[in-house]
Amino acid sequence: MRKSTAPIISIADVKNVLGKQVVHEHLNLDIMKGEITAIVGGSGCGKTTLLRNILMLLRPKSGSIKIFDIDILHCDIKTSQKIRHSWGVLFQHGALFSALTVLENVQFPLRTFTTLPPKVQKEIALLKITMSGLPLEAAFKYPSELSGGMLKRAALARAIVMDPELLFLDEPTSGLDPQSAGAFDELLLDLKEGLGLTVVMVTHDLSSLAHVSDKVVFLGEKKVLAALPLQELLKQKHPLIQAYFSGSRGESYVKSA
C-alpha cells in the first residue's frame, strides 16, 4: 500500500452559502494520497455540497481548495482542465448519457481525450465494463434499459476508464443489493491496491464504511467534526457522532466492525 503524508486534496477554511443558509463555515479537511476517505454525516449536512466544491461545480464563498497542490479556485483554464482529466466521478444516479449505449458511454472519455485506435478503445472499454461487474450483453444496451444497480456499475466503468488518480463516488452502493455492494467494495479495494487510487466517497452504507474506508470524515455543525479511522471515530464522544452510529442499524454494524 502506497501511503504518503502529503495531502492530495487540502481544503482550508471553506465557507459555503446556499441561498441564505450557511452550509459550511471554517471547514478544513486534508485527504491523503492512496487512501479511501469516506464522508459521512446526517442528511443535509452538506456532503454533496462539499463534493461539488472539490469537483469545481460549485465555488465556495470563501476559503481555499488545493488539489495536487494547485489552488483550483485561482488557476487558469488549462490547469483546471488537466485536473479534470485526472479524476473520475460516479454520480449518485449514474448520470450516463441517455443517447449513448453503455459501451459508447464508457468509451466516451477515451474517444475524447486519447489518440488510441478505435479498436483498442473498444477493448479497454469492454475490460472496464467487465471489471465493474457488468455482463457483456449490457454493453450494447441503452441506460434506459438497465436496472438501477447496473446503471451504477456502468457509471463506475465510465468513471474508471481513464485510470484516474482520484475517484469521487457519490453514494456508490445506494440502490445496490448486498451482494453487488460487497462486490463493489472488493473492486474498490482492488483498484486502490493496483493503481494506488485515492478515493473520496460520500456514503451512508455502514458496512461499506467498515469494510473499505481508511478514514471517515464526519461532517456536522457546518464543519468537519472528526476525520479518523472508523474504529477511533466510534469512540468519539460528540453527541452527533454518537447519534449517527447509535441507531438500531448503526449498533449492529458497530458491533461487527
Partner 1 sequence: MNNQQPAQLSFDKNTHTLHCSGSWTVSAISDFLKQPPLTTNKTNRIQIEGGGISRMDTTGAWALHQQANALKKSGKTISFSGFSEEHTALFQMVEAALPEKQPRPKSSRKPSFLYVLGKKSVDRYFSLLNGLAFLGEVIVFFGRIIMRPARLQYKSFLNVIDETGYRAIAIVGLLSFLIGIVLAYQSGQQLKTYGANIYIISLIGIAMLQEFGPLITAIIVAGRTSSAFTAQIGTMQLNEEIDALRTMGVSPVIRLVIPKILGLIISLPLLIILADICGVLGGMLVADKMLNISYYSFLLNFPNMIQLQTLLNGLIKGPFFACIIAGVGCYQGFQVVSSADSVGRKTTKSVVQSIFLIIVADALFSIILPWQSV
Count of residues binding partner 1 (CB under 8 A)?
Answer: 38
The Cα 193–Cα 116 span in angstroms is 26
Helix, strand, coil tally for the chain in percent (to 5): 45, 25, 30
Phi, psi of 139 (to 5 degrees): -60, -35
**Looking only at residues 87 through 116 of this chain, which bind partner 1 when binding is defined by CB under 8 A?**
98-99, 110, 113-116
Could you tell me where the DSSP H helices lie in the chain? 47-54, 77-85, 102-113, 118-131, 148-160, 178-195, 206-212, 230-234, 239-246, 248-256
Site for partner 1 in 170-199 (CB under 8 A): 190, 193-196
Determine contact, residues 105/117, Cβ cutoff 8 Å.
no
C-beta separation of 187 from 133 below 8 A: yes
Shortest distance in whole angstroms from residue 162 CB to partner 1: 6
Mask 144-163, x = binds partner 1 (CB under 8 A)?
x---------------x-xx
Please report, as residue ranges, which positions from 12 to 51 form the binding site for partner 1 (by CB under 8 A). none
By CB under 8 A, name the one of 3, 59, 82, 249 that touches partner 1. Answer: 82
Q: Is 143 in the site for partner 1 (CB under 8 A)?
A: yes
* Minimum distance from residue 129 beta carbon to partner 1 (Å): 8
128 binds partner 1, rule: CB under 8 A: yes
Other CB atoms closer than 10 Å to residue 233's CB: what's the count? 23
**Where do contacts with partner 1 occur on this chain (CB under 8 A)?**
2, 68, 82-83, 86, 98-99, 110, 113-117, 120, 123-124, 126-131, 136-137, 139-140, 142-144, 160, 162-163, 165, 190, 193-196
